[in-house]
Structure 1
Amino acid sequence: MSGTLPEWLHDMPLLKLDLSHNNINGSIPKLPLTLNRVDLSHNYILGPVPQNIGDMVPTLEFLSLADSLINDLIPNSLRKIVTLTILDLSKNMLFGNLPQCWGDSREIPPLWVMKFSSNKLSGIIPSSIGHLSELGWLHVNNNSLYGELPLGLRNCTSLIVLDLGENGFSRNIPGWIEGLESLRILRLHMNMFNGKIPSQLCQLLVLRIIDLANNNLERTIPRCFGNLTGMVLDESSRAEFRQNGRLTA
């Protein structure tokens, strides 16, 4: 399918809209108020994410605009969508900072997956991200983010995948990361972390993949890394390993 999205789309009482993997171009029109799932990924959609998207689709649970040509800032009104569970804006041309708004509302979105990877984002990770206590997947890799990891991130104790690779994060890898007990994939590839590898990483007993390559780390690998039993790949874990590999690609 090619062409632009029609304006009359707004008048249809749709619950789900999936037009992914097509050749659709143009901008995002006004969407039906009733939608709870929108997948427009892998197209050629131009322009911004509507700044009023939180008012446009207030009951949205799934939003994917990945792999397109969307630019401009990430709208703060996303925080108004208190039902939002999966948000994927990866592989676009978004710029500016990550939203600072995740703690500005009494009702926090139950976000489980949040992907902003492969954009042109800059600035720091906002400390308010710590309010997303149900967050399981955070991908901000391949951007121009910098600074040290915010202390608020330690409150995201449901994290399974944390991908911060290909950015400009610096300072030490924080010891509080041991509190992310559900973490299975930790990717800090190609940043500017320095100092020693913290032994607290050895407390991540279900960790399967760790990538600390291309940083400024020094000294030795902690001997307790031998206790990371989650990295022992037996037959029962091969299927899960392959699935996680696909989801992080």
Structure 2
Amino acid sequence: MIATIDMEIQPMKKTFCLLLFLPMFYTTAHPLIYHHHHPTILTDKAALLAFKDTMTQDSQSILADWQNSSNVCNFTGVVCNHQHHRVVQLLLNRSGIHGPLSPFLANLTGLLLLDLSENNLVGLIPPELGSLWRLNELNLFGNLLHGLIPDSLSLLSGLFYLDLKGNRLTGTIPSSILYNCTSLGYVDFSENALHGEIPPEIGNHLSNLMFLQLYSNNLSGKLPPSLSNCTILKWLDVENNRLSGELPTETVSRLPLLELLLLSNNLFTSHDHNTNLAPFFKALSNCTHLQAIELAGMGLGGQLPTTIDQLGIYLSSIYLQDNRIFGSIPPTIVNLSNLTVLNLSSNLLNGKIPDEIGRLQNLQWLILSNNSLIGPIPPSIGQINLLNQLDLSKNRLSFEVPGSLGNLIFLSDLFLQENNLSGISPSIGRCKSLNRLDVSFNRLTAIPKEIFGLTHMGIFLNLSHNLINGTLPLELSKMETVQEIDLSSNHFHGSIFPQLVGCIAACMINFSHNLLEGKLPGTLGLLRNLESLDVSYNSLSGEIPVGLGGSVSLVLLNLSYNDFNGPIPTSGMFTNFTYLSFLGNPHICGSIPGVPVCMKRKRWLM
């Protein structure tokens, strides 16, 4: 939170004008609001107790000491200025209070800071709060407030910090607030349901603005060019709206202190009819303090310029996914030595991944999925020691997964699915932090047993849709923490071993579309977390084990197209399944509709 700036007491002339103007915001519905020319600590106490009385019963117990203490300055969340004998701060953030935002707070006319954030306040923002003319911080973030933002807040001419984020506010952004509260340095109206345009003259009035956050609303129109006058602006976040027009090249070129530029999920286009990104990136090179740029989800067209490395030494995050960026990844991008996140996924990129990529030593997320990249995975990626997530899925990469990736001791997620990879190095088994491994839909013919030695893998192992031969490795049973195992659509043969019960955390097992044979072990019923078991399209035989019904969490069972025989068990979870779980097994019977009824054996009299 921005530290509250102590404001000087306004001249008497302004006070007199405010007192004349404010009564139009008061209503007879609130007779306890004082019209007192000499407010004191006693009027402050009365206002606080009136505020407390509007809260729910539970909230009043949270503020119990307000009733028990005679000294208002000892109330929970209350800070006084003892020299002037007034309440100057009310700090009840995350206090669990519930109820309407009371207009009685308007009587705390000495208040400099009002923070009621992250509670359960409901109702409208009272227009009476405009009488808090000394206020320099108003924080109502994270409540359940609805309705319009009152124009009367424009009377708070000394306001520096205004946070209304995360409520249910509707209507438009009142231009009067952004034009009259000229001391504003921090404005956050994010995560509401505001619509309309951003007031176009905002930058002509807020020369002190450093942080502007309006993301996740329904705002439309263009980003105001006047923002170029906010020359000390550091954060500009308008993601997840319906803003349109060309990328704001002229605006950002005049914001030398800009640190965060977040424009994702709007309707912006690049220059020259959405084909040219170069002018915008050139303008960004003037933002020498830039730390994060997010332009995702807009269908932006153009190539990444070779001058991308001029974005500055502080740049740590680039999010350009879900666009129409074409061409190759410029090798100069590796000069952005402080990058921690590079997301270029779901574009039209082609060519090879630059071998120099390993020079990005601070990179933690490298996401290049869903493009048309070709060639091998550069071994130099194994030099990025801090890498946590590597996603190269849905490309045209080929050859073997390089053994150098085994050096990535912090690697948690490795996504390589839907490529043309032909092998995977055993050294990947050294990635002891790996939680997710997906190499499905490739051309792998073998999996080193070291991969199944990743005993601490916690989320999923997906080797499906490859050409893997051999028996199920016994090492699989040692993966005690893995939740999902998918080996489907391969050429695995042999039996399913009973030791698979060692995968005690498994909630999904899919061995379908293989060449497995023999009996299905009943011990699988001991997997208490198992929700889905699919062994369809194999050559399993014997009776369906009764013990399988002991898996209390099992909701999806597919034994179809095998060679099971005998009656379907009727105990436990078997009562929840239909004939669809048993299709293509001509030698089974049971009481399930759609399955042949078991014939009773006749006893011949002797």
Q: Above 0.5 in TM-score?
A: yes
Residue 21 of structure 1 contacts residue 41 of structure 1 at CA under 8 Å; is this kept in 2? yes
Give me the whole-angstrom Cα distance separating, in 1, the residues matched to 2:330 and 2:149.
46
Match of 1:135 among 290, 297, 318: 290
Q: 1:29 to 1:103 in 2, by over 3 A?
A: closer
Q: 1:151 to 1:48 in 2, by over 3 A?
A: farther
Secondary structure of 1:169's counterpart equals strand
Residue 356 of structure 2 contacts residue 380 of structure 2 at CA under 8 Å; is this kept in 1? no
Query: 1:35 maps to which residue?
Result: 184
Shift of residue 6 of structure 1?
Answer: 2.2
- The Cα offsets for residues 33-65 of structure 1, whole Å up to 9 and x where unpaired, read as 110000100111111112222112111111110
Give me the whole-angstrom Cα distance separating, in 2, the residues matched to 1:83 and 1:11.
24
Query: 1:11 maps to which residue?
Result: 155
Shift of residue 208 of structure 1?
Answer: 1.0
The residue correspondences of 1:143-162 to structure 2 (distance < 5 A) are: 143-156=298-311, 157-162=313-318
* Structure 1: segments with no counterpart, 5+ residues: 235-249
Q: 1:63 to 1:211 in 2, by over 3 A?
A: same
Query: 1:77 maps to which residue?
Result: 226
Q: 1:233 to 1:6 in 2, by over 3 A?
A: farther
Give me the whole-angstrom Cα distance separating, in 1, the residues matched to 2:307 and 2:256.
16
- The Cα offsets for residues 2-43 of structure 1, whole Å up to 9 and x where unpaired, read as 222222322212111111111111111122111000010011
Query: 1:117 maps to which residue?
Result: 264
Secondary structure of 2:386's counterpart equals helix
Give me the whole-angstrom Cα distance separating, in 2, the residues matched to 1:203 and 1:34.
44
Query: 1:90 maps to which residue?
Result: 239
Q: 1:62 to 1:222 in 2, by over 3 A?
A: same
Query: 1:184 maps to which residue?
Result: 340
Shift of residue 182 of structure 1?
Answer: 0.2
Structure possessing the higher radius of gyration over alpha carbons: 2
Secondary structure of 1:131's counterpart equals coil
Residue 67 of structure 1 contacts residue 90 of structure 1 at CA under 8 Å; is this kept in 2? yes
Secondary structure of 2:382's counterpart equals helix
Query: 1:240 maps to which residue?
Result: none
Query: 2:360 maps to which residue?
Result: 204
Give me the whole-angstrom Cα distance separating, in 2, the residues matched to 1:76 and 1:151.
27
- The Cα offsets for residues 136-168 of structure 1, whole Å up to 9 and x where unpaired, read as 011111112110123453212211111100101
- The Cα offsets for residues 100-132 of structure 1, whole Å up to 9 and x where unpaired, read as 115754xx3311111111112222441211111
The residue correspondences of 1:39-58 to structure 2 (distance < 5 A) are: 39-58=188-207
Query: 1:243 maps to which residue?
Result: none
- Indicate the percent of aligned positions where both proteins have the same amino acid: 30
Match of 2:330 among 174, 199, 203: 174
Residue 130 of structure 1 contacts residue 152 of structure 1 at CA under 8 Å; is this kept in 2? no
Q: Which amino acid aligns with 1:83?
A: I
Secondary structure of 1:202's counterpart equals helix
Q: 1:10 to 1:153 in 2, by over 3 A?
A: farther
Q: 1:92 to 1:42 in 2, by over 3 A?
A: same
Q: 1:216 to 1:49 in 2, by over 3 A?
A: same
Give me the whole-angstrom Cα distance separating, in 2, the residues matched to 1:109 and 1:50.
22
Give me the whole-angstrom Cα distance separating, in 2, the residues matched to 1:82 and 1:159.
19
Give me the whole-angstrom Cα distance separating, in 2, the residues matched to 1:51 and 1:109.
21
Shift of residue 202 of structure 1?
Answer: 1.4
Residue 256 of structure 2 contacts residue 288 of structure 2 at CA under 8 Å; is this kept in 1? no
Give me the whole-angstrom Cα distance separating, in 2, the residues matched to 1:38 and 1:57.
10
Secondary structure of 2:236's counterpart equals strand
Q: 1:7 to 1:233 in 2, by over 3 A?
A: farther
Residue 208 of structure 2 is aligned to residue 63 of structure 1: no
Residue 253 of structure 2 contacts residue 284 of structure 2 at CA under 8 Å; is this kept in 1? no
Give me the whole-angstrom Cα distance separating, in 2, the residues matched to 1:23 and 1:101.
33
Q: Which amino acid aligns with 1:52?
A: E
Residue 128 of structure 1 contacts residue 152 of structure 1 at CA under 8 Å; is this kept in 2? no
Give me the whole-angstrom Cα distance separating, in 2, the residues matched to 1:38 and 1:223.
46
Give me the whole-angstrom Cα distance separating, in 2, the residues matched to 1:165 and 1:39.
25
The residue correspondences of 1:219-238 to structure 2 (distance < 5 A) are: 219-231=375-387, 232=408
Equivalent residues, number: 233
Give me the whole-angstrom Cα distance separating, in 2, the residues matched to 1:96 and 1:151.
25
Q: TM-score, normalised by structure 2?
A: 0.37
Q: TM-score, normalised by structure 1?
A: 0.88
- The Cα offsets for residues 72-100 of structure 1, whole Å up to 9 and x where unpaired, read as 11122222111111111011111122101
Give me the whole-angstrom Cα distance separating, in 2, the residues matched to 1:149 and 1:34.
39
Secondary structure of 1:230's counterpart equals coil
Q: Which amino acid aligns with 1:110?
A: L
Give me the whole-angstrom Cα distance separating, in 2, the residues matched to 1:153 and 1:175.
10
Q: 1:20 to 1:59 in 2, by over 3 A?
A: same
